[in-house]
Amino acid sequence: MTPIQTHHPPARRLALIDLARGVALLAMALYHLTWDLGFLRLTPENAALSPVGRAAAHGIAASFLMLVGVSLVLARRRRSGWWRPYLARLGRIALAAAAISLATFFLFPGSWIFFGILHCIALSSVLALPALGAPLPLVALAAALVLAGPTLAALAGSPALLDAPGLYFLGLGTTVPTTNDYVPLFPWFGFVLAGVGLGRLGLPHLAASRAGDWAPRGRIGRVAAAAGRHSLAVYLVHQPLLLGLLYGVAAVTGPHPRAGEAPFLREYRANCAEAGGTEAACRVAARCVLVRLRDEGLWRAGGDYTGQEQARAIAVSRACFTQAGGG
């Protein structure tokens, strides 16, 4: 007869899961550091907004949400009174999400966070409760459908109703809202359901293995596991600390000399092509404009000019365009 441990995850804390959260937190902090450096123009370009950077952000978010599902399975196995710590943690996450919305509403009113990863975690932690006891094939099917939700909605032709601002949190419309952190239920809730399924399948085997008894001994491992145990606090604190430090660096060093060059060149080439220039001519003209603006002390990554400076910049652009054979 199969031992009962193979069917039910244990109630005890698994240090390996804490370590996994700690590694995910480190990856998130590195991504935010990259974004902050680009945002403050301390690097030539914001690598966090590149295709590789966006893929990394999606991978990090997916890992966090899967760990949310795994953690729900672990919490549920605390047979007596498991709902008390569950509700306490849910309340902390919801309050933190509300605080982030309120703070970003005042700091970044044009791109405030109304449904970021903490909002998604809070709502998903409630919606995933039935999956803790549902048949595993049904959980897998639900996860697959949620993950495929945006694609299925696009193929079916999303009704205009789904683009209503009040339904942005679903992620099934065609509109992508302007916000600094957007993690809608579709497809991201699917990763939480996948984590629930993987937790129910894999945690019994993990607990019965030597890895289940693992405990960090080195300082790095202990710090990572401790961060994983207090992931919400680390999440809330790390970005203000990073931004505060880097704002100080930016005040001393100023922006990177090449900050803003790449987006300026891309935008100029696009505008040049719309004006009828060839690809080769627009590429030459763009580089010419950048060099001339620097030589004349007119280069600013933000593009904030007085009226007289703007007239001089336009004259430089026209001269370079003509010189490059654009007209």
Instruction: Give the pLDDT confidence of 82-133 residue by residue, as tens digits.
Output: 888 899 999 999 999 999 999 999 988 999 999 999 999 999 999 999 999 9
3-state secondary structure of 268: helix
List residues bridging with 182 in a β-sheet: 115
pLDDT tens track for 27-47: 999 999 999 999 999 999 899
**In this structure, is the dihedral angle defined by the CA atoms of residues 279, 281, 283 and 289, taken in order, positive or negative?**
negative
pLDDT of residue 300: 67
Q: How far does the chain reach from its first CA to its final CA, in angstroms?
A: 85
The string over 31-50, giving b where at least 16 C-beta atoms fall within 10 Å of a residue's C-beta and e elsewhere, is: bbbbbbbbbbbbbbbbebee
pLDDT of residue 242: 95
Rounded Cα–Cα distance for residues 257 and 42 (Å): 9
pLDDT of residue 184: 97
Rounded Cα–Cα distance for residues 315 and 91 (Å): 59
Confidence of residue 204 (pLDDT cuts 50, 70, 90): confident
pLDDT tens track for 303-325: 566 778 788 888 888 888 888 77
pLDDT of residue 255: 87
pLDDT at 2 over 90: no
Q: What is the mean pLDDT of residues 196-209?
A: 87
* Alpha-carbon dihedral 19, 25, 29, 32, rounded to 10 degrees: 150
pLDDT of residue 325: 75
Q: What is the mean pLDDT of residues 240-264?
A: 90
Per-residue tokens: 136: 């595993």
Secondary structure percentages of the chain, helix, strand, coil, to 5 = 70, 0, 25
Cis (ω within 30 of 0) for the bond into 109?
no
Average of per-residue pLDDT values in the chain:
88
pLDDT tens track for 58-94: 999 999 999 999 999 998 876 667 888 899 999 999 9
Q: What is the mean pLDDT of residues 181-199?
A: 97
- Of the listed ranges 75-84, 148-157, 218-227, 302-311, the least confidently predicted one is 302-311
Rounded Cα–Cα distance for residues 113 and 183 (Å): 10
Confidence of residue 1 (pLDDT cuts 50, 70, 90): very low
**In this structure, is the dihedral angle defined by the CA atoms of residues 283, 285, 289 and 292, taken in order, positive or negative?**
positive
Rounded Cα–Cα distance for residues 224 and 137 (Å): 34
pLDDT at 278 over 60: yes
Rounded Cα–Cα distance for residues 129 and 132 (Å): 6
Where do we find the tokens 């949620």?
A: 146
Q: Are 104 and 180 in contact (CB under 8 A)?
A: yes
Rounded Cα–Cα distance for residues 64 and 296 (Å): 49
